[in-house]
């Protein structure tokens, strides 16, 4: 069966079958397609029971001490944003365990979040103090919100069934000069080229799309947004490089899987250390060009609205 690319409408090619190996379920296979024109990777048939593939531990809050420790390490996330916007209203899509929302709030932003999980919404509202909108359709939820100076989506866009409508809504909601931050797994990465369907950051079937940076730039340009920052080597990107090898080696050489909650702590540490040692020499290669496992990009909206085209006489 031929599937058309949801980005550019070209006929796509079958890429591979992949299983939910991160959860240790190797029976069911999911077909991924690749568009030969724009290089989008996508899951053409999104499972109707997609929510069943998300466990509660995806959202289970961290113990307070761990939360604050991670928040401290993640200060880089808000510092990237502060180079362009230093205050105002910030909207995060898919805040999950709420680390970034907390960091943004501490930095003085007024924080709104759109999140689908009950557990996360409760925590974000009561503990983080964010203004919570519960929805699994951010593209619609944004439309009723006031303008934002920052919209951030950290590793969430690949989970959205309709990322294109989300980009349109986000671009429309941004105030002039406002920024959109997108961090996502990188389909141009060295790891994806080498590991393909076994790449932990493919995360089937939760990752519905792997979107090349160029598609985001091209789609957002006519909406008045310009890429002002792009990196594959922020702290999160380097962490995901490491994690990609750690998970792959653990799954290959043990009967464990990434989301295995029964794994003894010593065993988790062993595989983390083994993968870390393996990843060290590769880091020299992965940190060059656009080979990193993930990208983080910031796109800024025009400071002045575009002038309407002059009518011809």
Contact residues for Zn ion, defined by CB under 5 A:
5, 7-8, 10, 35, 37-38, 40
Closer of 3 and 276 to Zn ion (Cβ): 3
Q: Which residues contact 277 (CB under 8 A, 6 or more apart)?
A: none
Smallest distance, Å, CB 83 to Zn ion? 32
Smallest distance, Å, CB 6 to Zn ion? 8
Smallest distance, Å, CB 67 to Zn ion? 40
Q: Which pair of structure tokens corresponds to residue 135?
A: 């929805």
Closer of 6 and 205 to Zn ion (Cβ): 6
Q: For residues 216-241, b (16+ Cβ closer than 10 Å) or e, as one string?
A: beebbeebbbebebebbbbebbbebb
Spatial distance between the Cα atoms of 209 and 59, rounded to a whole number of angstroms? 21
Residue 65 host element (H or E): helix 64-73
Burial degree of 138 (CB within 10 A; 0-12, 13-18, 19+): buried
Closer of 35 and 211 to Zn ion (Cβ): 35
Smallest distance, Å, CB 39 to Zn ion? 7
Instruction: Output the 3-class SS for 118-171.
Output: HHHHHHHHHHHCCEEEECCCHHHHHHHCCCEEEEEEECCHHHCCCHHHHHHHHH
Smallest distance, Å, CB 8 to Zn ion? 3
Phi-psi region of 13 (alpha: psi -120 to 50; beta: other; left: phi over 0): beta
Smallest distance, Å, CB 35 to Zn ion? 3
Smallest distance, Å, CB 10 to Zn ion? 5
Closer of 6 and 95 to Zn ion (Cβ): 6
If DSSP codes are grouped into helix, strand and coil, which group holds residue 100? Answer: helix
Closer of 126 and 221 to Zn ion (Cβ): 221
Closer of 7 and 156 to Zn ion (Cβ): 7
Closest CA to 209 of 217, 201, 220, 221: 201
Closer of 7 and 22 to Zn ion (Cβ): 7
């Amino acid at each position: 069966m031929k599937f058309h690319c949801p980005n550019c409408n070209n006929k796509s090619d079958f890429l591979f079958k992949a299983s939910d190996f991160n959860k240790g379920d190797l029976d069911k296979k999911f077909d991924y397609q690749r568009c030969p024109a724009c290089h989008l990777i996508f899951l053409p048939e999104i499972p109707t029971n997609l929510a069943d593939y998300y466990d509660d531990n995806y959202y289970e809050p961290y113990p307070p001490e761990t939360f604050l420790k991670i928040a401290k390490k993640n200060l880089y996330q808000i510092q990237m944003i502060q180079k362009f916007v230093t205050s105002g209203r910030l909207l995060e899509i898919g805040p999950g365990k709420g680390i970034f929302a907390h960091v943004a709030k501490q930095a003085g932003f007024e924080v709104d979040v759109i999140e689908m999980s009950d557990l996360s919404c409760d925590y974000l509202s009561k503990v983080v103090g964010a203004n919570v909108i519960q929805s699994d359709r951010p593209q619609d939820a944004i439309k009723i919100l006031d303008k934002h100076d920052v919209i951030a989506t950290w590793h969430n866009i690949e989970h959205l069934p309709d990322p294109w409508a989300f980009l349109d809504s986000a671009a429309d909601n941004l105030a002039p000069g406002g920024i959109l931050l997108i961090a996502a797994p990188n389909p141009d990465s060295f790891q994806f080229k080498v590991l393909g369907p076994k790449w932990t950051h493919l995360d089937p079937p939760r990752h519905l799309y792997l979107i090349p940076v160029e598609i985001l730039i091209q789609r957002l340009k006519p909406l008045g947004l310009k890429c002002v920052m792009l990196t594959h080597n922020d702290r999160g990107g380097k962490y995901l490089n490491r994690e990609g090898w750690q998970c792959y080696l653990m799954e290959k050489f043990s009967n464990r899987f990434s989301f295995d909650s029964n794994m003894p702590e010593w065993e988790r540490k062993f595989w983390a250390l083994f993968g870390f040692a393996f990843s060290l020499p590769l880091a020299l290669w992965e940190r060059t060009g656009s080979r990193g496992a993930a990208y983080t990009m910031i796109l800024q909206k025009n400071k002045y609205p575009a002038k309407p085209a002059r009518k011809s006489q």
